[in-house]
Amino acid sequence: MIFLTVGTQFPFDRLVKSVDDIISQNGFEEEIFAQIGDSSYQPRNFESVASIEKKAFDKYLKEASGIISHAGIGTITMALDNKKPLLVMPRLKKYGEVVNDHQLAIARKFEELGHILVANTEDEIPEKIKQLKSFVPQPREKQTKIVADRIATFLNLSSKNQGAK
């Protein structure tokens, strides 16, 4: 089963419709279950709900052979923590899907590290879904020392700037 999730803050009709269209045109071997938020588009080719409780969400995520999602950091982190192959499509400001294009940078960085697959347009989704079946995400290494050093540098700079006033 593929778990498609778009989060609950904003609808992501572009992604839901794209996946539904692919199934309509090409069929699909695996069942898809989707959490689609407050979407105005209702898929015809797979089961969907607007939202699900956390316990059920976690169950779908753990049972899924792969995940398709927006490029939200929460979903990316959960997929990596559960060693699940993940295909993301960043939400875009120009379509009113988010207030800025931060998901582009998130997707690009996690893709560079080999953690996720990214479809930047609807046209890329069919090929990326095929890749999802065999994609093995690179393990994410926690970099607590690097993060701590960056915070320390920031705090040191902040305290020096405060002293200069």
Query: What per-residue confidence (pLDDT) applies to 36?
Result: 95
Q: Measured on CA atoms in the order 47, 132, 77, 64, is the torsion positive or negative? A: positive
Helix (H, G, I), strand (E, B) or coil at 66: strand
Torsional class of 153: left (φ above 0), alpha (ψ -120 to 50), beta (otherwise): alpha
Torsional class of 134: left (φ above 0), alpha (ψ -120 to 50), beta (otherwise): alpha
Q: What is the DSSP string of 108-125?
A: HHHHHTTS-EE-SSGGGH
The residue among 150 and 58 whose pLDDT is bigger is: 58
Q: What is the mean pLDDT of residues 117-141?
A: 94
What is the rounded CA–CA span in Å between residue 165 and residue 163? 6
What is the rounded CA–CA span in Å between residue 164 and residue 82? 47
For residue 99, what are the contacts with CB-CB under 8 A and spacing of at least 6?
Answer: 93
**Phi and psi angles of residue 64, each rounded to the nearest 5 degrees, phi first:** -70, 145
pLDDT band of 35, cuts 50, 70, 90: very high
Q: Whole-model pTM?
A: 0.86
Least confident of 11-20, 128-137, 148-157: 148-157
Domain spans of the chain, in order of start: 2-140
User: What CATH number has the domain spanning 2-140?
Assistant: 3.40.50.2000
Count Cβ atoms within 10 A of the Cβ of residue 41 and give its class: 0-12 exposed, 13-18 middle, 19 or more buried: middle
Residues across the chain: 165
Is 164 a residue whose pLDDT tops 70?
no
Average pLDDT, the chain: 91
Quote the percentage of the chain above a pLDDT of 70. Answer: 96
Q: What is the pLDDT of residues 64-113, one digit of tens each?
A: 999 999 999 999 999 999 999 999 999 999 998 888 999 999 999 999 99
Report the run of H or E that residue 78 belongs to, with start and end.
helix 73-81
What is the rounded CA–CA span in Å between residue 59 and residue 109? 27
Helix (H, G, I), strand (E, B) or coil at 33: strand
Q: What is the pLDDT of residues 138-160, one digit of tens each?
A: 988 777 877 788 888 888 877 77
